[in-house]
Each structure stands twice: as structure tokens, then as C-alpha cells.
Amino acid sequence: MEQTRRQFLKEMALIGSSAFFLENFPGLLRSATSEEISEFGKEKSGYTYCDGCNHVPKCGIVYYYRGPVITRLESRTDFNYPNNILCSKGYAQLQEQYHPNRLRYPLKRTTPKGQPPKWIRISWDEALKTISQKLNEIKEKYGAHTVCFYCGDPKEMRPIVQRLAFSFGSPNYGTESSTCFRSVSLAGLLLFGETTTGSPPSKQTKNCFIWGVNPPYSGPYAMKGLLKAKASGVRFFVIDPRKTPTVQLLADRHLGLRPGTDGALALGMMNVIIGEELYDKEFVSKWVHGFEDLKEYVKEFPPDKVEKITGVPQDKIIEAARVFADGPSTLMVSAAPVVHHTNGNQNMRAVLSLVAITGNFDRPGGVMIPPPPAIPPDFLGEADFCRRTDILPKISKLRVDLEEYPAWAELIPEIQMNHLPEYVDQNKIRAIVIFGGNAKMWPQPKLYQEALRKMEFGVAADYFYRPWTHDYIDILLPAATCFERHASLACFGRNIYMRQPIKPLGEAKEDWQIAADIGVALGLRQEFFDGNLESLLNEYIKKTGFTIEQIRKAPGCMINVPLSEPPKAKKYELGLMRRDKKPGFNTPTGKVEIYSTILKKYGYDPLPTYKEPIESPLSSPEMAKQYPFVLITGARIPFYTHSKWREIPWVNELQPEPTVNLNPSDAKKRGINEGDYVIIKNPYGQIKVRAHLTEMVLPGIVDMFHGWPKQDVNTMVPRYLDHISGYPPFKSTLCEVVKVSS
């Protein structure tokens, strides 16, 4: 981790040596002709896209190489590639590519779990033979459903791993989205029968409400459009407990609420909208189920009461309500901040209900449902290819989360992973196959490490050996980077782009290939086309009418799949949202279910009711006297993504050690100065970090980025899980901050 830019450049020079080529490309120099060797001096270029931000942006990269060695990178701007701004992580991909600690060969653990691990290099044949024997033994003895298949970061392998899990016979496929995006998805499905996080402003938009999102950090490629919208007259309201760059750059009004009170704020706004009869009466009367119940419930949330709950002045609440109702208004909501609370899913349903009662759903200028992309996003995958249509319905009764989270299990195709320790203790899960997983992503991570240790078998694929996860598994497989893999394809609307990969270092393989090889080793040769990756990808995109070869040969490795008809608004009126093609919404009533029949069926509150976080200044005042701060964890910063990039010196230089953000007024009361070491503590743990004084956080709130292996803030997060979604309170835990005495 001490490697500097200068040292790295020296190492890059060594990469050009014959020793490097002989190790990583056997036979290359021995068999090269003089003409081939001369070709190494000519710089060529290829296309890829970054996986540094976990999934969504896939920012375009043009990489340059001499022979098999990448020498430099730049943003891709040709062929209408949309996300074309590389950040520090994008450029640091080069250092990740040639990092000396990158995994290059399969490894097998030689010591029992619970003892310090020792590893030996093995062949892929031995690795696959061991994996198949262990998994098939467990399948025969206990059932396929006792094997869990899990995808972490990035999300590109999710379609093929779903196919692997369901073809093997296990419905217990899980992802890191069970602490991230999927609760937002669940709220949208319960309400509209459709996943939505809102949409950016269009030419018709009058007002844009950005709720918990900070695009300068999480999506800088989107800022150009947002700034253009502001210049054209769109009014921006930003709801966030922090004064983020989004507040500074876009906000006409900033509503700085206490974390975890989003639902109360939304209900207070609806109190005004309904009380002043600003709601869309035509839309509500025809398309909303449960409006009268909501109308009665929001009477409990007058603006003066909501001010006491949220900290947002009542005049701002009233103004925000009136502005939102005076549309067209759109909403942009984050995948996490609203739902990372003990009542998070209901909070999100309340926020989305604002869209429903004002008729801003799928309305020009409002929250639009875009035309279907040419291929689904990686986090979901194409349903037929993933075997969600033919196999999953037959085995879904064996899901491990049916009892704890029945609404989730009905609507979300992956299991809720936050109960993993319980699944293992109850012998529901006995083995696991992990792609890009991190045992420290959960609250109280030692419980999850212990769960991995207790399993009969575990295998993981990754770029690096990460002891906090891999010390608890049996076989570790080397994964190819974004420069070395084909899959997955990048899809923006109806445009599909393909990578042009180089040969992987050592014996690394891309995740899709690893999953396919495991499938073949398990006896599923037909399902995985004998491990032929191109055949699998052709199967994945067959509904587009194109083949991988056609995309490969197309200019810019890009093809467009035209829509059969122009995009339409108000698709619910046209029978374009329901599976049966009837007008309405894809919900049990065919309407927007503010009163959810699914939640009622499982004994939950059917309305988007508000409950205080289990630990808060209002719900636990005695605890708050000792631990007066609300702790936010996991908010994005520009140069790290979750636990990624700590191995990369260029990025690590930007923030080499963990810090906690503290308002200067709070710091002054505690005698804390910039850069002081402080202890963050609560009943669940404590960590020692540096203090950073900033007006970004409001008084009474502290903010710390997660993912540090040693000073792990997740050890301080309790396992009070949302009763609907199973989400932990990453953004509403109480704590205290004290200066470390010298």
C-alpha cells in the first residue's frame, strides 16, 4: 500500500520485460517471429467499460496497449457512448490490472477453518473437480437448496450465476442488493407493480426533488444534464441530512432532515397536498387503491408535528408540498439512504406515494417509465436465460427466506441475505459459491464470518485475496478484470456495446466463464453449452435478433436494437404495464396500491406507516443522552466504492485512513480539532479514526464511509432489521464521539 506513482511507473517498465511475458504468456516470446516482436512496439487500442462503481455507469474506456500490455487509458466518447467521464477509479483501473497482489491462479486452503489459513496453488482442473464433488455431495445428502449462490461486486456476473443456481436446483441465489437497491425495488413493486427510483428531469419537468442522492459523487456523468435542467428553469429541492455538493450546485431549497425520518416528511407533505386538495383527483379516483385510508392517516402528520420529528421547518415542508403538487414534478431517489432504517421500506413507499397522489407517474416531465432496454440490466438479467421463468417457480418453495420475509420472497427473485447466520445455524445453508463477496458488508460482520466458517464448503472468485472474507472459504479463484472479459454487455436504452478484451493475466478467468465451467463440472453441460462463452452470450441476447459476432464486427462494437413502436407515456392506460395486457398496474388490484394488499396478506401495515427508528433521539431518549449523535454509514465518496480500491495506491493516497465527518460546532464542544484521533463508540463497539470537521454534516449527525478492513464501522451497526425488507439501520444508529487523550 506504500506504492507511489513513481514506483508504479518503474514496475510498469518491468512489466515489459521478458520475465513478465514468460510467466503470464507462456510461449509468447519463444514462438514469436521477428515480425511479431516488432508489432509489440506499435500502440493499438481497444474498448472496455469500467466496473469501478459497482454496476450502473459502466463508464466507457479506450485503452491503449503494446503487445499484451496496457499502457494508458482515456474516456470513450465515440459512437454515442453516454457515460464518458472517467474518475479517479476509472484511471486507477490500470494499477489494479497490474497490481503485484492480484490473484492469478486458483488456490486451495490446506488448514482447517478456524486456524490461520495456508494456501497452495492448484490447477483449474483440480479446483473444478473439488467444487463439483463437494457441491454434488451436499446436494445428494441435503438437497440442492442447501447450497447458496451469491454475487457481490461487480454485478456483471449475476445473470450467469442465477442460471447456475437455478439449473443446479437451488432457489437460494442472493446478492449484495439485499442491503442496497432491492428494498427500493420492493417498495416500487408493492406500490406500482414496477421498480422505479424516479427519473431525471426532462424538457417538460417543472420541479425535481432529489431525495438522498448525491450525483457529483455517485454519478458525475449525470451532472451535465442536471445543471442544464437547472439553467433552463427547473426548480430543485434536495432532501438530505447532509449539505452535499448536490445541495451546493443544484438546490433551490435544502430540506435537511434527521436520518430515518423520510417517511414522516413524505407523510407531512401529503398532509398538505391532500388537505389543500392539490392532489390529482382524476388519477387518484381511477388508479389509486387506498386513497381514503391514506387521507385519514396523514391527518396524524401536520407540518408542525413533522417539524418536531424531522427537524425540517414547517414552512419548508408546506412549500415543498405545494411545489411538488404544482407539476410536472419528478423524483430522483437513492438506492439506499431512505431504506437503511428499521422502517425503511415503508419510508420509501411513503416517498413514492407522493408521485402517485399527484399523478406524476409516467407523465411527461414526471417520473417516467422508460421503454424496455435492448437487454435487461445486469442486476436483474434476462428472465428466460436466468431460468426465472421455467425453473425458479418450481423450486421457490425451498427459499430460505419465506418465513422471515414473505413479501420480499414473493416479489424479489433473490433471497434476503441479511439472515445468513440464522440460515446456517438452522442448517438451511451448508455451502456457498461467492463471486466478489465481502463478509464485512453486513452489520456485526463477525457473525457472517462465523457463518462462512461453519459451512461445509465455500468457494469464492475475486481479484484479490481478502482475508476478512477468504480466510473462511476453501477454494479461491482468480477473476479477470474489466480489460480481460467479454461479459457482460453494456446496454444504454436500445444501444448495446461490447468489450474488446485482452488475454487475462496468469490463469484468471472472467466470472461468466468461471460460472459456466462450474456448471459443466456439476454435470450441466447442455445448460452451459459445454462452457462455450460465446454460445452463452448469444443465448443471452437472442431476443435482440443479433449475435455476439455481429456486435464484435460492428463499428465501435456497438449495435442499435430499434423499438417496434415509439415510446408512449401513461402506459397504464394502454395495457403496456400489466402482464395480461389490460389497462392498469401490475398489482393485485390493478391500481397503485398505497394500501398494499400484499403487505396486508402477510400481516404488515398496508399503508406506508411511519415508525421511528428503533434507536433515535425520540424513540430511545435515555440512550440518546449517552450516545447523542445519529451515525450515517455508507454514503458515497468520489474515490472509493464500498470496500473496493483499498489495495490501489493511487486511490488510497486520496484518503489513506478512515475519517469521521463531524460538524465544527459539535467538534468544538468536545475539544476536537481537524485531524485529531477520536473514538466513535456505542453499545455494539468502538473504532479509532481521524476527525474531519465539515459543514457538510448537520449538527447532531456524524458520517463515516464504510469498507475499512480494520476500523470497520459496520461493527457498530446493530442487527435491528426492517421487518418487511430485512434491511439494517446503516443510517440511523446512535453513537458518541470523543477525543483520544494523548
Q: Give 614-624 pLDDT, tens digit per residue.
A: 999 999 999 99
Q: What is the DSSP letter of 16?
A: T
Contacts of 357 (CB under 8 A, 6+ apart): 270, 273, 274, 279, 280, 284, 288, 291, 294, 594
Length of the chain in terms of residues written: 742
With a cut of 60, say whether residue 8 has pLDDT above it. no
C-alpha torsion sign, points 94, 97, 99, 100:
negative
| Statement: residue 189 has pLDDT above 90 | yes
Report pLDDT for 47. Answer: 97
**pLDDT of 128-152, one tens digit each?**
999 999 999 999 999 999 999 999 9
Cell 459451512 maps to which residue?
Answer: 455
Each residue of 453-488: pLDDT tens digit?
A: 999 999 999 999 999 999 999 999 999 999 999 999
Segment among 182-186, 456-460, 704-708 with least mean pLDDT: 704-708
- The residues with which 47 forms a beta bridge, in sequence order, are 62
pLDDT surpassing 80 at residue 9: no
Span 479-529, pLDDT tens digits: 999 999 999 999 999 999 999 999 999 999 999 999 999 999 999 999 999
Q: How many CB atoms lie within 10 A of CB 639?
A: 19
What integer pLDDT is reported at residue 20 of this predicted model? 39
> Which 3-state string (H, E, C) describes 223-249?
HHHHHHHHHCCCEEEEECCECCHHHHH
Q: CA-CA distances (angstroms) from residue 474 to 103, 106, 110, 419?
A: 15, 11, 8, 22
380 versus 206: which is more confidently predicted?
A: 206
Lowest average pLDDT, out of 262-266, 597-601, 635-639, goes to: 635-639
The position carrying cell 452470450 is: 537
pLDDT at position 55:
65
How far is Cα 329 from Cα 205, in angstroms, rounded to an integer? 6
Read off the C-alpha cell for 735.
453513537
Edge-to-edge strand ranges of the sheet holding 173-175: 119-121, 107-109, 475-478, 457-462, 431-435, 147-151, 173-175
Q: Is the torsion defined by CA of 566, 571, 577, 582 positive or negative? A: negative
| Between residues 1 and 368, the one the model is more confident about | 368
pLDDT value of position 246? 95
Residue with cell 467479454: 486
- Measured in degrees and rounded to the nearest 5, phi and psi for residue 458 equal -150, 140
Span 252-263, mean pLDDT? 97
Residue ranges of domains in the chain: 5-97, 107-182+374-486+501-545, 197-368+589-601, 621-739
Judged by DSSP in three states, 682 sits in: strand
| Mean pLDDT value of segment 328-351 | 94
Distances (CA, A) of 221 to 83, 366, 377: 6, 21, 18
Q: For residues 191 and 431, is the Cβ–Cβ distance under 8 A?
A: no
89 in Cβ contact with 52 (< 8 Å):
yes
> With 80 as the cut, is the pLDDT of residue 249 above it?
yes
User: Among 360-369, 582-591, 642-651, 710-719, which stretch is predicted with the lowest mean pLDDT?
Assistant: 642-651
Q: Where is mean pLDDT largest: 60-69, 127-136, 195-204? A: 127-136
Report, as an integer, the average pLDDT of 88-109.
Answer: 92
pLDDT digit string, tens, across residues 660-669: 999 999 999 9
d(CA 504, CA 481): 8
Mean pLDDT of the chain: 92
Class for domain 107-182+374-486+501-545, per CATH?
alpha beta
Burial 160-191 (b: 16+ CB within 10 A, else e): bbbbbbbbbbbbbbbbbbbbbbbbbbbbbbbb
Q: What whole-number distance in Å separates Cα of residue 47 and Cα of residue 115?
A: 44
CATH number of 621-739: 2.40.40.20
Given a contact cutoff of 8 angstroms between Cβ atoms, the answer to whether 441 and 422 are in contact is: no
This prediction has a pTM of 0.93
- The answer to whether the CB of 335 falls within 8 A of the CB of 329 is no
Reported as a single tens digit per residue, the pLDDT across 18-27 is 333 334 433 3
Q: Is the pLDDT of residue 556 over 80?
A: yes
Q: Do domains 197-368+589-601 and 621-739 have the same CATH topology?
A: no
> What CATH number has the domain spanning 197-368+589-601?
3.40.228.10
Residue 668's pLDDT is 97
Residue 227 burial (CB count, 10 A): 13
Measuring CA to CA, how many Å separate 521 from each of 257, 410, 525? 53, 32, 8
Q: Which of 654, 653, 659, 624 is nearest to 734 (CA)?
A: 624
Using a CB cutoff of 8 Å and minimum separation of 24, what contacts does 405-410 make? 405/724, 405/725, 405/726, 406/602, 407/186, 407/190, 407/598, 407/599, 407/602, 407/604, 407/724, 408/182, 408/186, 408/724, 408/725, 408/726, 410/598
CATH level 3 topology of 5-97? N-terminal domain of TfIIb (2.20.25)
* Average pLDDT of the residues in 293-308: 98
- 4 has pLDDT over 70: no
- Nearest Cα to 274, choosing from 253, 293, 252? 293
